[in-house]
Amino acid sequence: MPVDHSQCTDDYARYGLRVRGLNDYLNRSDLSMQTSNISDLCQGDALIIVDVQNDFLPGGALGVSQGDQVVPLLNHYIQYFRKAELPVYATRDWHPSDHCSFTAQGGIWPPHCIADSEGAQFPPGLLIPANSLIVSKATTRNQDAYSGFQGTCLAQQLRSAGVRRVFIGGLATDYCVLNTVKDALKEGFHVVLLKDAIRAVNLNPGDGNRAIQEMIGLGAATQQLEGLAG
C-alpha cells in the first residue's frame, strides 16, 4: 500500500527515494532552460497526482464529467516516472463526516471523500506505485483545502527529496489542480501542467479553460502525451 505521509517525516530512505547530493543540485541550475518534456525526466523531477478519488469520478458523490478519462493518461505518466526512478506523490481529500465544505455545515459541496470511505479511495485502475507518498488534506472539520500544499507537509517533503520540478495532473482543473499548481509556483517549484490528464468541474462554463490560462500566466509549462514516442 502507498505510504501516508500526512505526519511529516524526513525518513525518505525507507521508501527508496533518492535524495540528491549538493553537486547534483548545483548541476541543475540550468533547469529553467530545459524543455518540459516528459521523456526527458531527470533527478529533481516529481509527479503529483491531485485528488483522483472515486467520489470525483463519474457516478461519485461529486463526480467530475469525464474525470475517469485522466486515469489511463496518468498511468502513462506514472510509467515514465517509474522508469526514471523518480518519486510520485498523490494528494487526496480526506474529510471528517461533518466537514465545513459540506452543505449540511453551510458549505457548497455535497458530502464527499469522507476519510476511509469507499468514495475517498483511489480508483483501482489508477496504478499508484507502492512507494508513492500520499498526502491527505482538509482532514479537520473546520478547514478546507483545495491545494495539496495547504495544511500539509508537501512542500517540505518535496524539498527534502531534492525535488525542484513538479508535473501535476488530476482533478479538478478549476479547483484542486489550479490551487495546487499556484501553491507549487509560490513555493518556488517549476511546474509542468499535464494538460491532457486534467478535467474541470465547470460550475460556470469556461472555468476549466480560464484556470488553465491562469496557471500558464503564472508560469506553469504544459505537457501532453500526444506526439510522444513510447
- Helix spans in the chain (H): 22-26, 70-83, 154-160, 178-186, 207-217
* Cα–Cα distance for residue pair 81/38, rounded to 1 Å: 9
Q: Catalytic: 176?
A: yes
Q: Which residue is nearest to Zn ion (CB)?
A: 93
Catalytic-labelled residue, pool 45, 55, 176, 183: 176
| The three three-digit cell numbers of residue 47, written as one number | 509527479
Which of 45, 93 has the CB closer to Zn ion?
93
Three-class SS state of 58: coil
CB closer to Zn ion, 68 vs 93:
93
Residue 30 known to be catalytic: no
Binding-site size, Zn ion (CB under 5 A): 1
Q: How far is the CB of 56 from Zn ion (least distance, A)?
A: 9
**From the CB of 105, what's the least distance to Zn ion, in Å?**
12
Give the shortest CB-65-to-Zn ion separation in angstroms: 17
- The dihedrals phi and psi of 124, each to the nearest 5 degrees, come to -60, -25
Q: Show Cβ contacts of residue 29 under 8 Å, excluding neighbours closer than 6 positions.
A: none
Instruction: Give, as ranges, the residues between 80 and 139 that touch Zn ion (CB under 5 A).
Output: 93
- Distance (Å, whole) CA 197 – CA 71: 8
Nearer to Zn ion, 44 or 60 (CB): 60
Element (DSSP H or E) covering residue 195? strand 190-199
Q: Which of 137, 174, 182, 196 is catalytic?
A: 137
Minimum separation from the CB atom of position 144 to Zn ion (A):
6
Nearer to Zn ion, 92 or 195 (CB): 92
Window 15 to 54, contacts with Zn ion (CB under 5 A): none
Question: Which residues fall within 8 angstroms of residue 163, CB to CB, at 6 or more apart?
Answer: 44, 45, 46, 87, 189
Cα separation of 87 and 217, whole Å?
27
Q: Tell whether residue 174 is a contact of Zn ion (CB under 5 A).
A: no
Known catalytic membership, residue 83 = no
Residue 176 CB, nearest approach to Zn ion (Å): 8
Looking at the Cβ atoms of 43 and 152, the one nearer to Zn ion is 152
**Nearest Cα residue to 88 out of 32, 148, 145:** 148
Task: Using CB under 5 A, list all residues that contact Zn ion.
Answer: 93
Catalytic center residues: 51, 137, 176
